Amino acid sequence: AQSVTQPDIHITVSEGASLELRCNYSYGATPYLFWYVQSPGQGLQLLLKYFSGDTLVQGIKGFEAEFKRSQSSFNLRKPSVHWSDAAEYFCAVAARFNTGGFKTIFGAGTRLFVKA
């Protein structure tokens, strides 16, 4: 069965420090992978996506993620965290329906706290 695991429920980093959020997926075929961010009171915003090609993908707000097929991972990174990055982050995989089309399977989310 398709699934996404985010092992860290919450992470606290200092402003200016580097960040890595972990994500592992289980999916039988080539995955379409996403990272979304949800700030308090806001909707889901797409940070970046991986469909094919270069396994290191760049996103908005200085985020990047690396797809590692051998590890079934798609970890999100940022070299220097800003206080405004405090939010909840969701890793997701697009799973194909039997009838065609896709649905998004989300991880449980990682809440990021940024301390001054």
Cα distance between residue 111 and residue 89, in whole Å:
6
Nearer to another protein, 91 or 114 (CB): 91
Nearer to another protein, 72 or 104 (CB): 104
By CB under 8 A, name the binding residues for another protein: 32, 34, 36, 42-44, 46, 49, 51, 90, 94, 97, 99-109
Nearer to another protein, 51 or 83 (CB): 51
Residue 78, classed as helix, strand or coil, is strand
On the 0-12 / 13-18 / 19+ scale of CB atoms within 10 A, 57 is buried
